[in-house]
Amino acid sequence: MIQTDNIITVTMNIDKNLIIPGRVRLFNSLFQFGSVMKKYFILICVAIIINSCRSLDSGRNKNEWDISVIPSSVRIDPTSGEIIDHRFLLLKGKDTEKKDFLQQNHIFDGEIVALHAARGEYISFQLVITNNTSKTLDNIRIDMPPFSGNNAQFKISPELFLEWAVEVKSPSTGYPAASLGTGWYPDALIPFSYIQDDSAQVRWRWIYPLWLPDFNNRIDNQKSMIVWIDQYIPFKEEDARPGSYSTRLSVTIDGATKEIPIELSVWNFAIPNENRFKAGLQHEGFMKSMSEKQELAVYQLLKRNRVTILDPTYEPEIKISDNRKIDIEWKTLDDRLRKYFSGKAFTGEYGYEYGPGYGEPIETFVLPFDVYGRHGTIGWPDIGKPDVERNSKNRAIYINCINKVRSHFKTLIDPAKTDLTVYLNGLDESYFPEAWSRMVYYGDMFREHYPETLFRIDGGYTEEALQIVKNSISSWASHTIEYDFEAIRKYQEMGIKVWLYGPMLYESKINSWVGSSTFLDLPLVNDRAISWSCWKYRTFSWLSWGAGAGWINGWYDPESWKDASKAKPESEAEFTYKKINGNALLIYAPGVVPNVSGPCPSIRLKAMRDGVQEYEYMRLLADIDKNRVRVDSLVNTIIKLPYGPKSIGNLDVWSFDPEEWDERRIVMGEMIEKSTTSIMTQNTIASEVKE
């Protein structure tokens, strides 16, 4: 039998000597019906043989597996093919529920993928391989050559990641309505450098082969493999001139290959190389506790995704003698952090060959200062408890330490590029007058003796508290439960740098119990919304607590925050325990999954990155227009009135349709492109007239 896509040819050679006697009589009786019946008989035999051949060749049938592409703004259930983010209660009954996203969506028309991007940013999409049989598909090969066009080829290849799913067994506590429900959620992104997709490169035995169902993930009834694809658009114009580029995404399984063409339109502008927005994740002790090799990998991973990491526990060893002499051992800290202060950590010298922030230093550094307080930790320098911290001896020690730190970092850190921040963890979210008095005391001290620093307080402070501390602070991470733009605007106008901090949705007031904006089982657009909300409310940036909370267990258990109340206070009567999925978990640990030896980003981190990139679109368009009118108009079609007391119980705070977000991004890009081209034309005409 010879099989092609459309024709099956069957060749039959029958040896009469092989026909047994009983069947000879059968054939002879059939042949007596004449030549017409012979023809019918032959046709029946051919049909039987064709059907048998098809059954034997079921492993090669072209419909046994399919490929498709979906946008990066949604997640797909690997067991059912359902778009997880379309489950949100406010999308019920809308067109999103009726669409077959794998057949057609807003970036894939069923034949070709169409992408748009600016220089200096990442553009992403997802490949979905669906297994239509009950057998394992192995020896899967995926290939995507660099984009080419305009008589050139990108020097930067696409980055491929295998999506790892975790099972949500119960909705995040406090979100019975807003949660997208139980089931498997893809989240961790494993770089293909850790996946064995080429048998020629494997010696002895496989550790992480590319199979469907996944060899290591062990997803119950898995039908789809999802691959995340990142493409960084070169920052320099000579490396990515405006225009059209193309490539082909191909999947080969058991000798059969399927392809999808990818078209990319590069706009005639770039977003900045540096991360001017300075959006951050604060996680005490997370970075300092790592080996230097792992620390470098995490810093680079976050730089690549335009999010900075803040760890206030980088404290050098300090000795204070009886005569109040202060000795600080700087060498260990300097040797470890100097490359981040200079930006060398983000160059080819340290393996960072390309990407956002190339050669740029870290955006924010939290200085090691602290005071005794809420968390029971001692201060740095340690000058005792609040009842003695203000005596002249202890005040002199603290000021002397400030002066030494300032003098030392003057030669290492450029405050024009790296914000120097003072965050006193002992006064974190302290809602009583004695704490406000201490904020004023230390804030005034730093303003006088270290004026380059930002003295930051964190929490949802009332008007009473702000009236006390407003002249002593320069930065405030305002918890979203209390963020009211009309009330807070006057403090922003004073010059206080206000950050959005905390959860995005408030189904009830109980949701304010965390300082993280990240939840696995809430809509993915939330992680973009925080950047868009910063534009709407004119805040300096955003801050979320936690980068890798539970990053080891998170590979198999998404409940990164679990505890139960001992006292069961009346204020928590409805929820006396917490089980929160993916909270403060945006990076997954190395050394847990076989062969995965480096930290892995998450889909939610990529969504945060997209929001930051889009914020830069907003800034560019407003700069071109010399006003915010067009940008505000676009943002207001997406963002309504999130945060603050009025938002409690109201989930309709922004659009939850991912397609609307993606469309607004393209509209902004096209506006910038058109305006940039117009300005360039005007400049050319003006230059020619002048000549």
What are the pLDDT digits (tens) for 404-446? 999 999 999 999 999 999 999 999 999 999 999 999 999 999 9
Residue 441 covered by a domain:
yes
* 162 and 145, same domain (yes or no): yes
* 325 and 184, same domain (yes or no): no
* 241 and 93, same domain (yes or no): yes
- Alpha-carbon Rg for the chain, nearest whole angstrom, is 31
Amino acid 96: pLDDT: 62
The model's confidence at residue 207, banded by pLDDT at 50, 70 and 90, is confident
CA 105 vs CA 102, 111, 114, 131, 448: distances in Å? 7, 11, 11, 20, 57
Alpha helices in 191-289 (DSSP H): none
Q: Which helix (H) or strand (E) element contains residue 559?
A: strand 559-564
Amino acid 50: pLDDT: 42
Separation CA 331–CA 412 (nearest Å): 12
Mean pLDDT of 652-681: 93
Amino acid 93: pLDDT: 81
**Which residues, in sequence order, are CB contacts of 511 under 8 Å at separation 6+?**
174, 175, 481, 503, 505
**Is a pLDDT exceeding 70 seen at residue 666?**
yes
Question: Could you report the per-residue pLDDT of 268-280, keeping only the tens digit for each?
Answer: 999 999 999 999 9
Q: Which helix (H) or strand (E) element contains residue 326?
A: strand 326-329
* 379 and 527, same domain (yes or no): yes
Cis, bond preceding 356 (omega within 30 deg of 0): no
Q: Domain containing 569: what range?
A: 280-610
Residue 596 covered by a domain:
yes
Mean pLDDT of 161-178: 97
Amino acid 680: pLDDT: 66
* 96 and 178, same domain (yes or no): yes
Separation CA 654–CA 618 (nearest Å): 17
Amino acid 513: pLDDT: 84
Mean pLDDT of 479-503: 95
The model's confidence at residue 559, banded by pLDDT at 50, 70 and 90, is very high
Amino acid 311: pLDDT: 98
Which percentage of the chain shows pLDDT scores above 90? 81
Residue 293 covered by a domain:
yes
Summary mean pLDDT of the chain:
89
Residue ending a domain, choose from 252, 270, 288:
270
**Is a pLDDT exceeding 70 seen at residue 266?**
yes
Q: Which CATH number fits the domain that encloses residue 363?
A: 3.20.20
Amino acid 561: pLDDT: 77
Q: Looking at per-residue confidence, does 129 or 691 come out higher? A: 129
Separation CA 148–CA 150 (nearest Å): 7
Mean pLDDT of 489-510: 96
The model's confidence at residue 61, banded by pLDDT at 50, 70 and 90, is very low
Separation CA 650–CA 441 (nearest Å): 39
* 508 and 562, same domain (yes or no): yes
Mean pLDDT of 634-663: 97
* 21 and 88, same domain (yes or no): no
Amino acid 60: pLDDT: 37
Pairing of strands 224-232, 122-131: antiparallel
Q: Looking at per-residue confidence, does 104 or 31 come out higher? A: 104
* 51 and 70, same domain (yes or no): no
Beta bridge pairs of residue 256: 253
**Is a pLDDT exceeding 80 seen at residue 10?**
no
Cis, bond preceding 158 (omega within 30 deg of 0): no
Encoding tokens for residue 522?
């809430």
* 326 and 183, same domain (yes or no): no
* 253 and 380, same domain (yes or no): no
**Is a pLDDT exceeding 90 seen at residue 39?**
no
Separation CA 32–CA 555 (nearest Å): 72
Amino acid 4: pLDDT: 36
Residue 148 covered by a domain:
yes
Q: Which amino acid is at 41?
A: F
Residue 522 covered by a domain:
yes
Mean pLDDT of 10-36: 37
* 248 and 394, same domain (yes or no): no
Check the CA dihedral 471-475-479-480 and report its sign: positive
**Is a pLDDT exceeding 60 seen at residue 153?**
yes
Tokens 């679990």 -> residue = 562
* 349 and 328, same domain (yes or no): yes
576: helix, strand or coil:
coil
CA nearest to 663, candidates 638, 630, 631, 633: 638
Q: Judge residue 568's burial from the number of C-beta atoms within 10 Å of its C-beta, 0-12 exposed, 13-18 middle, 19 or more buried.
A: exposed
Q: Within 13 Å, how many C-alpha atoms sit on residue 218's CB side?
A: 5
Residue 571 covered by a domain:
yes
- Global pTM reads 0.89
CA 72 vs CA 69, 166, 203, 467, 680: distances in Å? 9, 18, 35, 44, 32
Angle between helices 433-449 and 392-409 (to 10 degrees): 50
Please state the domain count of the chain.
3
φ, ψ of residue 225 in degrees (nearest 5): -105, 135
Residue 141 covered by a domain:
yes
Mean pLDDT of 540-552: 97
The model's confidence at residue 222, banded by pLDDT at 50, 70 and 90, is very high
Amino acid 574: pLDDT: 65
Residue 670 covered by a domain:
no
